[in-house]
Structure 1
Amino acid sequence: MNYDDFNQFCDSLPATTHVVQWGSSHVWKVGGKVFAIGGWAPDRQPAFTFKASDRNFAYLREHEGYRPAPYFANRGMQWIQQTETSGVLDEELRYYLTESYRIVLRGLSKRKQKELGADQFLATVTETSGDLP
């Protein structure tokens, strides 16, 4: 996945906003809260950072192509960075980006969720989502 594909996917999720900040990173937010970042790879290759559930964080931190996200993980936050961007893990990345979006969205107040029109998305995704092994 490249940054154009990443931005297009994140833009497809309801009520998202995009800013370029933190050293030219593509930062995606919902309700003003970050759920995905495109950037920060040490070798200038694409890298994608997202929030993970407890189970997914434990799994991905040991899985090739992923690592605990710099800065976030150092502060005890469960964020993962995908460093394998050849396309092999694109389907997984879309799943994890959606999960990150869902986690952040669920952390918003019910009022904010409804205001964003994302409450219906949550109802649909929550029923069908789950952690990958």
Structure 2
Amino acid sequence: MEIELLRSYCLSLPAVTEDIKWGNDLVFSVGSRMFCVTSLDQPLKCSFKVKDDEFEELCATGNFSPAPYMARAKWVLVSNAGVMHNEEWKSRVKQSYELVKNKLTKKERTSLGIN
């Protein structure tokens, strides 16, 4: 997955915003909550939220590691973009988006025009 493909996919999801945080990280959010963070430096490194019951299993594969500062919230870090094909990237990012979106209050989701 290249950063431009990742960026295009994230921005195609409803009510997503992007900004730069911590100097050189591209952050995608729904409402005020992050669901995907990637470094603007090469090689691509990307963090996103996973289901609680998947976290330990994914980290045990060696392809994912606990994301710095966010592991307690079940975020993983992918340091080698080649470990997943583009469709799996899309699936994982979409899942992260849904997990984060579902934590928004009903009022927040309504104001964003999402369910």
TM-score (normalised: structure 2): 0.90
Structure 1 residue 60 and structure 2 residue 58: aligned? yes
Q: How many residues align?
A: 115
Secondary structure in 1 aligned to 2:28? strand
Q: 1:24 deviation in Å? A: 1.0
Q: 1:81 deviation in Å? A: 0.9
The residue type equivalent to 1:49 in the other structure is: S
Would you say the 8 A contact 2:64–2:77 is kept in 1?
yes
Would you say the 8 A contact 1:6–1:38 is kept in 2?
no
The residue type equivalent to 2:12 in the other structure is: S
The residue type equivalent to 1:30 in the other structure is: V
TM-score (normalised: structure 1): 0.78
Q: State the distance in 2 between where 1:64 and 1:87 align.
A: 10
Q: 1:87 deviation in Å? A: 6.7
1:97 is aligned to 93
1:17 is aligned to 17
**Out of 109, 112, 116, which is 2:112 matched to?**
116
Calculate percent identity across the aligned residue pairs.
29
Q: State the distance in 2 between where 1:58 and 1:21 align.
A: 27
Gap regions ≥5 residues in structure 1? 120-133
**Out of 76, 84, 89, which is 1:80 matched to?**
76
CA 83–89 in structure 1, closer or farther in 2 if over 3 Å, else same: farther
Would you say the 8 A contact 1:37–1:50 is kept in 2?
yes
The residue type equivalent to 1:46 in the other structure is: L
Q: 1:112 deviation in Å? A: 1.2
Q: State the distance in 2 between where 1:16 and 1:59 align.
A: 28
Q: 1:18 deviation in Å? A: 0.3
Q: 1:35 deviation in Å? A: 0.5
Would you say the 8 A contact 2:16–2:30 is kept in 1?
yes
